[in-house]
Structure 1
Amino acid sequence: MPPVPLSVAHAARKAAAQVETLPDLGGALTRQLHRLVPHDGYMLSGQDPVTGAGCFLIEHHGYSCAHFRRLKTAGLFDQRPHPSRRPTAAPATAVVLNVAVAAPQGGAALLESMDMDGWGSELRLRLVDRAAHWGTLVLLRERGRPLFSQADIDSARQIAAPLAASLREYVARARPRPLPATMPPGVLVLDGNDAIASATPTARHWLRMCFPSSALDTDEDLSLSLWNFAAAARRQDDPVLSRIPTRHGFAALQAQQLAGARPGEVAITVQAATTGQLLPAVAAWYSLTPRERTVIEHVLEGRSGKQISRSLELSQYTVNDHLKAIYRKIRVNGRDELAATLSC
């Protein structure tokens, strides 16, 4: 396979350093990718690097809400990938669906819905870099246009790592602070059919803050935006957790199946991320080493450099080196600023 075109990779990384919003990031990255793989629409989803749950979605001329309603009616949501408790960083893979080609098992309804939406071909690319899966990019071509080919797959795989790095660097560009808790947590209960059974007044406000580029005008829109969390919660005992980056800090979304007379009910809670929730994701997004994360935990407990040195059986010089690396990665100037940034 030929090397990644340096101009495309460089432009993608440069775009991540300059744009202001997630929609701007999606547009900038896909404009660069368009030079290698022409497309008519896209959907870019980010993934919590620790739990594998989704943490944002950007789209332009992507699938319509009607498409997802059709998939839900056909029962295909339960067949789609769900967040993994321990996400793996398999090599960047690209999968193509073409309406003119026989569907995979159970996929006839999916291809029919694509066709009804006006799409003839989909290319789905895993964004993998630094031994982690950071998100998924879906490229779409309109019906009547050339289908995605093997050459398109090869080109997309070449740029997957630079795109993943650009996504990670965009999130890590700002200091990793919890979102200010300006209102009570938002809580929704989804029934076994993913319809909203009840919700607090603040729930919609929290979700709009977390997913500003999504249309959340109706209860059905809300339930469609949360189906993957609900489906994952029904498949595992532990709550599904996603740390969601917003312009003002990180929020935490948790989904957990309820025990009771009505099977399949799931509670969704959205609120400002706590320090304990935030730190594991920060370690991934900001490329902290396991030792650097441990040093941060000691700093947040209020321990001095000497106390950290004794506890970890390290020289104070080594602890100071770790602290300097942490300050550089998280973009703070010292211990006090580090503690203030990560604390609720």
Structure 2
Amino acid sequence: MTARQNVPDWLIESSFAALAAAAREHARNPRRHNPLLCVPSSGSGWWTAIDAQPLGDDGDVAVVIQRATGTLLLPSFCDWYAITARERQIMHHLQDGSAPKQIARLLDLSVHTINEHLRAIFRKTGTCGRNELVAAITA
């Protein structure tokens, strides 16, 4: 983790410890969700996904750090920017390449309502349009 900027060691250590504990719990009880952490990275300019998997019965855990995009990123991205449930639906369809008119038809809403939701999303995320928004979650 040499590329980090101004992140205290205690935060990194506690995050990895919690992730490892969650991975061990997932191995004991597969009904629990698989631990995954998506965080914005100020140093690299993209979101990072941190996943943990137990290696065996001895308690060792493998931690995988990768660039987060697409469906892996969308839930964390929406949580980070306080995107509503309806706005999440719209973002999901945008990510799939649907135009506002198609989204309106799929969600049984007016195009005007879809555009109002899009404006709210742009305002919350600081993006200037659909292309920039989609690039933020897929690039």
User: Which structure has the bigger radius of gyration?
Assistant: 1
- Which aligned pairs between 1:66-145 and structure 2 lie closer than 5 A? none
TM-align CA RMSD: 2.3
Q: Structure 1: which 4+ aligned runs deviate by more than 4 Å?
A: 222-225
TM-score normalised by L of structure 2: 0.82
Cα distance, 1:314–1:223 mapped onto 2, change above 3 Å: closer
Aligned-partner residue type, residue 253 of structure 1: I
The superposition leaves residues 93-130 of structure 1 with CA deviations (integer Å, 9 ceiling, x where unpaired) of xxxxxxxxxxxxxxxxxxxxxxxxxxxxxxxxxxxxxx
Mapped to 2, the partners of 1:224 and 1:306 lie a distance apart of: 46
Considering fraction of residues, name the structure with more helix: 2
Aligned to 1:187: none
Aligned-partner residue type, residue 118 of structure 2: L
Q: Is the 8 A contact 1:210 1:245 kept in 2?
A: no
Aligned to 1:229: 19
Is 1:256 aligned to residue 46 of structure 2? no
Aligned to 1:294: 89
In the TM superposition, what is the alpha-carbon distance from 1:338 to its structure 2 partner?
Answer: 1.2
* Alignment counterpart, residue 213 of structure 1, candidates 7, 30, 41: 7
The superposition leaves residues 55-114 of structure 1 with CA deviations (integer Å, 9 ceiling, x where unpaired) of xxxxxxxxxxxxxxxxxxxxxxxxxxxxxxxxxxxxxxxxxxxxxxxxxxxxxxxxxxxx
Aligned-partner residue type, residue 209 of structure 1: A
Q: Is the 8 A contact 2:70 2:95 kept in 1?
A: no
TM-score normalised by L of structure 1: 0.35
In the TM superposition, what is the alpha-carbon distance from 1:239 to its structure 2 partner?
Answer: 2.5
3-state SS of paired residue (1:208): coil
- Which aligned pairs between 1:125-204 and structure 2 lie closer than 5 A? none
Aligned to 1:273: 68
Q: Is the 8 A contact 2:39 2:76 kept in 1?
A: no
Identity of aligned residues (%): 37
3-state SS of paired residue (1:311): helix
In the TM superposition, what is the alpha-carbon distance from 1:339 to its structure 2 partner?
Answer: 1.1
Aligned to 2:34: 239
